[in-house]
Amino acid sequence: MPDAGAVRVRLITLDDYDAVARLTVEAYRADGQLEASPDYAAALADVAGRAEAADVLVAEIDGVALGAVTFTVAGGEYAEVSRPGEAEFRMLAVDPAAQRRGVARALVRACLDRASGLGCGGVAICVRDDNPGAFALYEGFGFVRDASRDWSPVPGVNLLGLWIGLPALAK
pLDDT reading at 44 higher than 70: yes
- Band (pLDDT 50/70/90 cuts) for residue 1 is very low
User: What is residue 31's DSSP assignment?
Assistant: T
Mean pLDDT (whole number) for 88-94: 97
Q: Does domain 7-165 have CATH number 3.40.50.1820?
A: no
Rounded Cα–Cα distance for residues 68 and 88 (Å)? 14
Q: Compute the mean pLDDT over every residue in the chain, rounded to the nearest whole number.
A: 92
The pLDDT, as a whole number, for residue 148 is 98
> Any idea where the domains of the chain sit in the sequence?
7-165
Q: Which string of b and e fits 39-65 if b means at least 16 CB within 10 Å?
A: ebbeebbebeebbeebbbbbbbbeeeb
Compute the 3-state secondary structure of the chain and give helix, strand, coil in percent, each to the nearest 5: 35, 30, 35
The pLDDT, as a whole number, for residue 12 is 98
The pLDDT, as a whole number, for residue 155 is 86
With contact defined as beta carbons under 8 Å apart, do 68 and 57 qualify?
Answer: yes
- Could you read off the pLDDT of 102-155 as tens digits, one per residue? 999 999 999 999 999 999 999 999 999 999 999 999 999 999 999 999 999 888
Mean pLDDT (whole number) for 36-63: 93
Look up the pTM and report it.
0.92
Angle at 171 between CA 86 and CA 160, to 5 degrees: 45
> Among 93, 30, 35, 32, which residue's Cα sits nearest to residue 66?
93
Mean pLDDT (whole number) for 44-54: 97
The pLDDT, as a whole number, for residue 59 is 98
- Band (pLDDT 50/70/90 cuts) for residue 4 is low
The pLDDT, as a whole number, for residue 168 is 56
pLDDT reading at 170 higher than 50: no
